[in-house]
Amino acid sequence: MASLSSLCSSSPSLKPKPAASLPKTVLNPPFPGKPTSLSFPIRSSKPLDVAAHSVAREIAADSSKSGGNSVPGKPKKGLEKDPQALWRRYVDWLYQHKDLGLYLDVSRIGFTDEFFREMEPRFQQSFDAMEGLEKGAIANPDEGRMVGHYWLRNSELTPTPFLKTQIESTLDCICTFADEIVSGKIKPPASEAGRFTQIMAVGIGGSALGPQFVAEALAPDNPPLKIRFIDNTDPAGIDHQVAQLGSELASTLVIVTSKSGGTPETRNGLLEVQKAFREAGLDFAKQGVAITQENSLLDNTARIEGWLARFPMFDWVGGRTSVMSAVGLLPAALQGIDIREMLTGAALMDEATRSRDLRNNPAALLALCWYWASDGVGSKDMVVLPYKDSLLLFSRYLQQLVMESIGKEFDLDGNRVNQGLTVYGNKGSTDQHASNTHLRNSYGCVRWKLIANCLDFYEDGKIDLKLLQGTRSALYANDRESVSVTVQEVTPRSVGALIALYERAVGLYASLVNINAYHQPGVEAGKKAAGEVLALQKRVLAVLNEASCKDPVEPLTLEEVADRCHAPEDIEMIYKIIAHMAANDRALIADGHCGSPRSIKVYLGECNVDALY
């Protein structure tokens, strides 16, 4: 078994995948007739507006009461419809990143010049905050940690030489390990294939969504190792994944990813997979890889059981921004995706989004549009419509990145703000035939208007421009604002850039609305609630055990169980716990049946005398 430290001392050897083996998407220039050079007026930075954040909060509070539309300078009128004026707006505002071949069109968002001027100084504050974050400030005060995903793609930025070495040596280890797995130097012990052919990735949330998006977007048609995911605790779903592997379980590399190393869903997935290995007579440890924080439960398990390899997750990288750490890079490299290109794309975008010139910073422009269109309080939804099949999972990826980062009850000063941006979307064309009627016509309620965030991807005439532009025009005609992001090719570089673009937009937007983008109190509440259910389950078991040890056995009604647990207010949860135990043959129903809670009388199949005292 290669230990964390020995793994991280090896040198890079993964050769970049030749461009020819990447998905081929050679494209036409996306904007026919687009001027070759655009002049963006250079604006001098205004002095910092110290009151800006509190103004924003007042606006946000008012806006949430009134249903929005009280952003500074935002007129209560329809969008510009004159074609000539729209063309000028398009040309004036079109952002282009030449090296990345990426375009951002914000012309179909109706912000005014006045709004832009008023927001500019506030953006300067957000840029300051971002600069501090990149220099190693404790940007997540709740968890007392730095936020360093930007360092992953440019290790020169790390605040200490130790972190730089950590990043570089881990990247080297990933490349070396992937190379040795792909080449067959590291072999599965009991497979006739003579090399690993499959990856089973076990993880959830940020430990699954990034790798899933990258695999869908970039894996070649015939990757050296094919990947599948276990990202739920559904036993049937896990069985299905294992069954589909069949005899290839013997040549499956199991990558278990969990930053905390203690997430129950991931732990359940691991236990189920280990069981499948035992039943097939295979030694799991020889095929298991852990990606987790050092000394976590998962890390200790992997170390003690002698797994094939362990890779670190860093404290200063959050789950939802971890795709450029070992979490996303290891599975990507094993699928033959050029991970150094992904990092380059992200680094180029990071550089562009450090610009303090708001007009020339694509992430700031995105954040500006989100703020304008949703009144700075998330009064509208964000619909992500990718017109490339390979980007199908981008909306799912962005759901976590945006909603977990922005959806917050309190701001940084402890004021209740109930912030959030709702993200959904499938594929552009599919949505055209499914949800777009709603998007175009319905307000649902005042807070359910639309931001269509169209990701248009043109591919050598293969995508029908009429449909894409038709959606944009139809939405606009009905006063639905949209942003269009265009990349010329879906490559590791452009995917890295897209991820970096949205990461920065989220950070800047969060700073504008004065919230912590890097913690997840909602999830903590969920984990706490899960812990409380577990504690209640123990009490229910103790009460049922006591009644079941009596002679004769005393079946109890749900009310009796709740009373004896001193938890009458939790009777519904007690019913669900008992129904679950009955479904798993741990509790026996004496009277009634689970579908009629009032009729139930229940006892345990076995009395555990030892547990009585």
Ligand X SMILES: O=P(O)(O)OC[C@H]1O[C@H](O)[C@H](O)[C@@H](O)[C@@H]1O
Interacting residues with ligand X between 379 and 408 (CB under 6 A): 404
When the beta carbons of 280 and 297 are compared against ligand X, the nearer one is 297
CB of 204 to ligand X, least distance (A): 5
Catalytic residues: 404, 433, 527
Of residues 24, 426, 398, 14, the one with CA closest to residue 181: 14
Question: Residues 19, 243, 446, 523: which binds ligand X (CB under 6 A)?
Answer: 523
Each as own residue / partner, the long-range contacts of residues 91-94 (CB below 8 Å, 24 or more positions apart, any chain) are 91/34, 91/35, 91/38, 92/38, 93/359, 93/365, 94/31, 94/34, 94/38
When the beta carbons of 323 and 450 are compared against ligand X, the nearer one is 323
Bridge partners for 451 per DSSP: 382, 481
Interacting residues with ligand X between 172 and 191 (CB under 6 A): none
How many residues form the binding site for ligand X (CB under 6 A)? Answer: 14
Q: CA 257, CA 271: separation in Å to the nearest integer?
A: 14
Contact flag: residue 140 with ligand X (CB under 6 A): no
Q: According to the 3-state scheme, what is the secondary structure of 448-470?
A: CEEEEEEEECCCCCCCCHHHHHH
Stretch that binds ligand X, among 95-103, 260-268, 470-478, 503-511 (CB under 6 A): 260-268
CB of 60 to ligand X, least distance (A): 24
Angle at 532 between CA 529 and CA 537, to 5 degrees: 130
Stretch that binds ligand X, among 1-9, 53-61, 203-211, 503-511 (CB under 6 A): 203-211
CB of 292 to ligand X, least distance (A): 8
Question: Residues 520, 545, 555, 603: which binds ligand X (CB under 6 A)?
Answer: 520
When the beta carbons of 320 and 449 are compared against ligand X, the nearer one is 320
When the beta carbons of 166 and 207 are compared against ligand X, the nearer one is 207
String marking each residue 333-372 x if it binds ligand X according to CB under 6 A: ----------------------------------------
CB of 324 to ligand X, least distance (A): 14
Contact flag: residue 258 with ligand X (CB under 6 A): yes
Contact flag: residue 206 with ligand X (CB under 6 A): yes
String marking each residue 73-112 x if it binds ligand X according to CB under 6 A: ----------------------------------------
- To the nearest 10 degrees (0 to 180), the angle between helices 339-352 and 161-183 is 150
Burial classification of residue 437, based on how many CB atoms lie within 10 Å of its CB (0-12 exposed, 13-18 middle, 19 or more buried):
exposed
Q: CA 340, CA 329: separation in Å to the nearest integer?
A: 9
The length of the chain is 613
Contact flag: residue 319 with ligand X (CB under 6 A): yes
Buried b (16+ CB within 10 A) or exposed e, 247-262: ebbbbbbbbbbbbebe
Give kind and range of the element (H or E) at residue 499: helix 492-512
Question: Residues 30, 110, 188, 205: which binds ligand X (CB under 6 A)?
Answer: 205
Stretch that binds ligand X, among 30-38, 256-264, 435-443, 472-480 (CB under 6 A): 256-264
Contact flag: residue 259 with ligand X (CB under 6 A): yes
Of residues 566, 560, 536, the one with CA closest to residue 548: 560
Stretch that binds ligand X, among 258-266, 357-365, 506-514, 583-591 (CB under 6 A): 258-266
The first and second tokens of residue 583, run together, are: 């479904």
Of residues 94, 106, 117, the one with CA closest to residue 35: 94
Stretch that binds ligand X, among 2-10, 41-49, 198-206, 595-603 (CB under 6 A): 198-206
Q: According to the 3-state scheme, what is the secondary structure of 166-198?
A: HHHHHHHHHHHHHHHHHHCCCCCCCCCCCCCCE
Q: Is 350 helix (H, G, I), strand (E, B) or coil?
A: helix
Q: Cis peptide leading into 552, omega within 30 of 0?
A: yes
Q: CA 511, CA 296: separation in Å to the nearest integer?
A: 31
Question: Residues 107, 158, 212, 263: which binds ligand X (CB under 6 A)?
Answer: 263
- The amino acid occupying position 487 is V
CB of 208 to ligand X, least distance (A): 8
CB of 261 to ligand X, least distance (A): 7
When the beta carbons of 263 and 548 are compared against ligand X, the nearer one is 263
- The amino acid occupying position 111 is F
Stretch that binds ligand X, among 40-48, 79-87, 257-265, 464-472 (CB under 6 A): 257-265
- Where do contacts with ligand X occur on this chain (CB under 6 A)? 204-207, 258-260, 263, 266, 319-320, 404, 520, 523
